[in-house]
Structure formats: C-alpha cells, structure tokens
Chain A
C-alpha cells in the first residue's frame, strides 16, 4: 500500500527530473537515501548535492 509520503516522494522525483539544476545522479542519490529508511541528515543530502563540477575560467 502506497503511503502518502511515498506518493509525495514519487511525484518529487518526477518533478526533479525536469529540473535543470538537479541531475540524474543527484536524484538517484536522493532516492537511495530516502529509501534506505535511515534517519535523514542534512550532511548526507549535502554530500549528494555537492559533487565536483568542471573548472571555471579566469
């Protein structure tokens, strides 16, 4: 039986997939984190959202 929370999360992942600032790896990371059942911690989410990017130019 789908819970209200899981329905919201499913819709959340779908909406995020249309975002230009959140990539597939981040969404997968978030999905795994939420599904793990572990206590949600800001540090874990920050680790997912701060993966390295290409260098800039000066």
Chain B
C-alpha cells in the first residue's frame, strides 16, 4: 500500500499547475463547489490507475482520458497533462516519485523504479474503492439486495470466488455427465454380452456356466473363476484364426433389434412432442428465439473472457470484471428463455440417449449384414447408423435442436423403410444357414463372448474411472462451496459487527443501541438495521437520508477493514464527510482517528467549518490542508494553504484590511466559543431555537473556565497534589492577567458582541483586540504545539471529573475528596 507525500498536477482537468504536500498524513482540501477539489481527486486516481472514474460509467459515452483528461486549453496536447505523486511505501520504508502522463496513460514512470515499490503501486491500483466519492457510498445501502451483493462483492473482490465456483460447478456437471454416459455404455456392452451368452443376468457363475459348456465341447480346461484377466476363449486360438460368427448369438442380436423396432412408433414420443411444441413457441416468438440465440452467444462469450477485450465484439473494457458483469447481466435478463432452453435440451438429451442405444444394436448387426445380408442392406444399415450416431452427438444446443426440427417432425429415428423386411430376410438367411457343428459353434461362441467381455471390461474401466472423477468433482465443488460459504458467513458477520459498532460510535447520542444484520442469500445480500429498538428494517424504511449516508460510510469502513486489514493505509474521501451531519462530526473524527490511526485520509469538503473542525478534532493537523477559494479557467483553483487563523488575521492587518480581519476574528470566535461551550460543559442561557450567538456563549465559557479552575484547585488541595496546585495556580494567574489587562470580562464581552465597531478601528487598535482574544483563547488550549487541542472535561454528562487536553499534557483532577 502507499501513502502520499506530495502531489504535483500540471494541465490536468481544471488544474493548471498545483502542488500540495500532505506529507503522508491526513489532509483536507476545502472549497466551494466548482473550485477544483475534484480535480485533485481525479489527478490522484489517474496517477495511480491511469483512469478517471468520472469519465467512465453511465452518461459518459464519448468521454475518454486521452481527450478529456487534459485541461480544456490543452486538449490537443495530452503530453502536457501530467500528475506526479511523491509516495511513501510503509512496508518497504521507501519513497519514490510516480509520474503519469495523459498521452501515455497506460504506463507510469517511477523513480527509483524498484520492484517492491512498483508492486505496492500496482496493488493500490487494484483498489479503486480507495477513492470514494459521496455518490458511491449510498450504493451499499439504498439498493436492491442483489445489487448490494454485487457492489459489496466487487469491493471485496469476491467475483473470483464466484468465478471459481462457477468453473468447479461446470467441472462437476461435466464429470457427472461423463459418468452417466459411461454407465450407459456399460449397460449397452453388458446387454450385448448377456444376449450373446443367452443368460438372464451377468453374474460370474452364469457367465462361466455358459462358457464352460462350450469349452468342454472343445476339450478345453474349465474356467473355475472369472478374474480381471480371464480369457474366455483361452486355447481356441491355438488351432488357427477363429471365426466370429455364431449362429445363435446372431439370431439373438437380430431379435433384439427387431424388438426395439416394434417400439419405434412410441419411443421418445412424449419428448418429441414437447420438443416440437417448444420449437413452435420459438418460431412464433422470434424475440424469444433471438434471446436464446444471444444467450448461447453470450454464454460462450462469457466462458471465453480472458482480459479486457470482449470476445464477442472486440470492445476494450476498463477491466475484465466489468465486462463479465455486463455479460452476466445479459444472461440474468433472460430467465424465461433460460427455462425453455433447459426444458428443450433436457428432452433432446433423452432422444440422444435413445439414438445412442439403437446405434449400439445396429452395430452388432452390421457384420452380419455385410457377410450375409440382402443386397444393399449393409449400405442401408451404415447410413442409418451414421444418422443415429450423428443425431446423438448433435442435440446439445438450441441451434442444433432447431436444425433438426424437420427430423423430429418426420420421425427422428428415420428407420430405413426396408429395415423390417431386410431384417426378416437376414434372420431367415441366418436361420437357413446350416447349424454349425458343435465344435464350430462352441469356438465362435467363445470368440464372440471374449470380444464382448473385453468390450464390457473396457466400458467398466471407463465407468470406474468416470465414477472416481465424478466423486472427485463433487467433492472439490462441495468443499469449495462449503469453505467459501463459511468464510463469507464469518466475513459478513464481522463486517456486520464493525458496521454496527462504527455507526453506534458516530451516533452514540441517539442510536447507542443500533445494530445491523447482513444476510447473504442466493446472490443477494439483505441489510436490515435497527430503528430505535422498534425492530429491524431496511435502511431506507425509517432512517433519514443523512443517517443512510452515515450508514454507507460506516459500511465502507467496515468493508475496507476486512478487505485490507492493516494494509488500509490510504483513502481519498471525496466530499464523503458531507454525509455526516453537524451533530456527529466530532464522533466521526474520533472514529477515524481511533479506528484507523495509521490511515492517511485525503478529504475534500465544500464546508470550510467542517475542514476546521477536522483540524480542531485532531483528525488532520493544524496546517495539513489547502483551501480553494474559487476557480477560473485560466488559473485553475485559487487557493491558499490552511494556516492558523491568527496568521491569516496578521496577513489582513499587514494590508491594513481591518474589516476582513474583524470578520475573520468574529467567525473564529463564534466557532471557538461554540466548541469550548461544548468541550467544557458551559451553560449559556437556554434558547429553544438553539441559536446561540457569541454573546450567549463567550461569557458562559469564560465563567465556566473560572468554575473549573476552582474545582481543580479544591481537588488539588483535598488530594494534596502539589504539582496540580502549581498548575492550577499558574492557570488562574494567567487567566486573571488576561482578563485584568483589558478591563475585565465585560470589556472582552462587549467588544466581541458589538464587533461592528471593530470595522472603524485603526490597524493598531485592532491589533490590540486581536492580541486580547488570542491571549484569551490560548487559556483554553494545550500549549504543546504538537497537541494544540482545546481543553475539555470528562465525563461529558454529570459532574466533571477531569479537565484535560488531547495529549494529556494537562490532566487536572476536578473531583474533591
């Protein structure tokens, strides 16, 4: 993972030339809408990925990085548009400068170019979710469950799990089909052997009984046990080449085909009727047929996706997953077509099985027809055999079935017209053959029995092999599904827990009992949330939009924690913080600080007060920010780095601009007084509209400070804490000096309240006012520059027990003995 030390943007989007230096720490970019904040976000994204997500997706047809990435005045000169990131790689403890130019957007240069640094950058580029915009957060909350599941799976990069599951499912199905086919081959081979031996069942005893009778005729040794390598005609070969014709066996084979022939009229009747019905539906609804045709096309395309280039239309997608999602969505839209497709192919498979079985019977007759059949019969049988085997192999797609419609209508078996007669003729010919001598009959019987036994053994081997493979395929598929399901169950439970915790932490004041439930079901991910203890509801049911936004942010952080763990070291929150309402900003800052202390957040907001609050709450350091004031096409963002308000006021006064300085001081005092009233538990006169002004707040804060110092002094005395006594004394003295030097609290209050008078002050006079307030406010801050936080009391409700600062450099007990 990476962190950003500095960003240098040149001629990119709305920016001409801008350098910001986050210094690997959280950083805030504030400014009104249209001031160029998003240009910085786009630049960071572009530098890391070569893409600008704002230029892709819905409503962005015709927009490209090449053409629209450069500043509009440099649109014909993309080489001028460039972003350089100075990066720090925490795990390698190394720094490097990454530079990416719009003209060669697919590549970046790195200095120094080291494998570890490059790997960290490439890994970061795999996580576009690290750059989160406000419009994206709601997609985790207010969406249909199937869509939420997709979004969350995409964020957690779980598509690969689905892909693996899908491929393993295909493997399982194909191995099962192979086993079923092998099983049928065994049955066909067994039937042929059983028919030849003229036995009811193929038990070892029956086989040996039939065989040994013939062996005895030939004076051959009895076979006592049927083993894997037993040869039924062992010894027969010794006298010369064996004959394969056995009259009785031949008659049985002929009878078997004739028996089946008698059933031709009804064989597969139901399936054929159903097939013809479905084919008629398809012909009458070209749209449905088109959908199925496209479906097959898309299915094939999906299986062939290997990279960003669509195998169906050659379109280059931004990434492989988007392409796959697009194809999957097309398949999902055609459920009716899928149902018909399944039914049609299921019936066609039954017909294919029948065709296969008949062809096996035909194959036993072919040698007889060749040597003894009526003229032309072997040709007739060969063509029919070819027809049956071809049919059995060509009914696996809708297009194939559709192509055979005429055959189904006319009779799929397509038995030759002369079949019956010629079979009868052949039977008569065989029957009329002189009976074989007992020894020849025995010899041919054994030779054919051995041939068919070999066929059975071969089929059985294939079946056993197929059975083992099928079992392995099932085990692999089930194991993967079980493991993935268990893992994802635990993952979602953990996400649910973190999400609930984060939301509770932000909304502790009114939703301290909040909980959420993420429930994955068949490709969907349902989310239910507690609503003030009244039950679990969809997030959009009762919660306000602001709360829903807050949920989106919390769910995002919970997901990122699971996805990246300690590797979550960097994120860009583009206007995301505006999802947090004013009452919960403090808790939001605390959440990010406490839960993600090692993460660098680059935050944009159009609310300057929010930006200031982030600094006051310590989420970002005092000077870690830049404020954009406005933007022009010629200059890009007009900005200044965020500095201490006192430095800004000094700058105003250096230009003798008292009105601006006065306005800035007033706003700072308003913000500070409200913040201090909250931090110290000051009690201004209650106002039903909660509209407290500076006149309400500042006196209350100053008064509260006095009360707290009295409490601290008493506690220090009670506990005989000499160190605390000295600290409190020093604070009281400083406070008294500040207030006394300017005529007491009344002077400060009056001047603050009637600040309009300030505009008439001379620069020198106003400097004194500024100095007074600066000294006053310093009383409420930790003097350590690295802390610089407001003092606050704890607990926030009830009697205060401690007065402290964030770094605990000041930590005064307020609880007397």
Contacts and interface: CB of A to CB of B under 8 A. Distances in A.
B461 A16 contact: no
B457 A50 contact: no
User: Closest 7 A-B residue pairs measured CB to CB?
Assistant: A21-B471, A57-B228, A50-B469, A42-B170, A49-B472, A39-B306, A45-B171
Contacts of A57: 227-228
Interface in A8-54: 8, 11-12, 15-16, 19, 21-22, 26, 30, 34, 39-42, 45-46, 49-50, 52-53
A58 B197 CA distance: 15
B460 interface: yes
A4 B156 contact: yes
Contacts of A49: 171, 175, 469, 472-473, 476
Nearest to A57: B228
A13 B479 CA distance: 9
Contact of A56 (B123, B167, B457): B457
7 contacts: A1-B567, A5-B157, A11-B486, A16-B475, A53-B464, A53-B468, A58-B460
Interface stretch (B158-166, B265-273, B373-381): B158-166
A27 to B, nearest CB: 9
B648 to A, nearest CB: 43
Interface in B280-310: 306
B456 interface: yes
Contacts of B483: 8, 11-12, 15
A41 B471 CA distance: 19
Contacts of B240: none
B323 to A, nearest CB: 13
A49 B158 CA distance: 25
Looking at chain B's contact residues, the main secondary structure is helix
Nearest to B126: A3
A45 B484 contact: no
Q: Which of B168, B466, B473, B476 has the most CB of A within 10 A?
A: B476
B175 A58 contact: no
Contact of B487 (A8, A22, A53): A8
Given A15-B479, A26-B472, A56 B460 contact: yes
A53 B171 contact: no
Contacts of B461: 55-56
Contacts of A53: 464-465, 468
Interface of A: 1, 3-5, 7-8, 11-12, 15-16, 19, 21-22, 26, 30, 34, 39-42, 45-46, 49-50, 52-53, 55-58
A3 B170 CA distance: 25
Given A42-B170, A58-B460, 12 more contacts: A8-B484, A12-B480, A12-B483, A21-B471, A21-B474, A22-B479, A30-B476, A34-B164, A40-B167, A53-B468, A57-B227, A58-B457
A42 B468 contact: no
Interface in B481-496: 482-484, 486-487, 491
Interface of B: 123, 156-158, 160-161, 163-164, 167-168, 170-171, 174-175, 202, 226-228, 306, 453, 456-457, 460-461, 464-466, 468-469, 471-476, 479-480, 482-484, 486-487, 491, 562-565, 567
B164 A40 contact: yes
Given A49-B171, A50-B465, A40 B456 contact: no
A30 to B, nearest CB: 7
Contacts of A12: 479-480, 483-484
Nearest to A49: B472
Nearest to B159: A5
Given A3-B157, A22-B475, A53-B464, A58 B456 contact: yes
Contacts, number: 101
Contact of B175 (A4, A11, A46, A52): A46
Contacts of B453: 58
Contacts of A16: 475-476, 479
Contacts of B475: 16, 19, 21-22
B228 A58 contact: yes
A35 to B, nearest CB: 13
A19 to B, nearest CB: 5
B171 A42 contact: yes
A24 to B, nearest CB: 12
A27 B573 CA distance: 43
Contacts of B476: 16, 22, 26, 30, 45, 49
A30 B168 CA distance: 11
A52 B453 CA distance: 21
Contacts of A41: 167
A23 to B, nearest CB: 8
B472 A11 contact: no
A29 B158 CA distance: 23
Given A49-B476, A58-B226, A58-B228, A42 B469 contact: no
Contacts of B491: 4
B174 A46 contact: yes
Contacts of B171: 42, 45-46, 49
A32 to B, nearest CB: 15
Nearest to B457: A58
A29 B433 CA distance: 59
B290 to A, nearest CB: 27
Given A1-B565, A49-B171, A21 B227 contact: no
Contacts of B460: 56, 58
A45 B469 CA distance: 11
A40 B170 CA distance: 11
A41 B157 CA distance: 20
Nearest to A23: B472
B161 A21 contact: no
Contacts of B474: 21
Contacts of B156: 4
Contact of B472 (A21, A34, A42, A56): A21
Contacts of A15: 479, 482-483
Contacts of B563: 4
A52 B465 contact: yes
Contacts of A50: 175, 465-466, 469
Contacts of B158: 4-5
A26 B468 CA distance: 12
A1 B487 CA distance: 17
Nearest to B158: A4
Contact of A7 (B160, B306, B456, B487): B487
A16 B1 CA distance: 33
Contacts of A26: 472, 476
B196 to A, nearest CB: 14
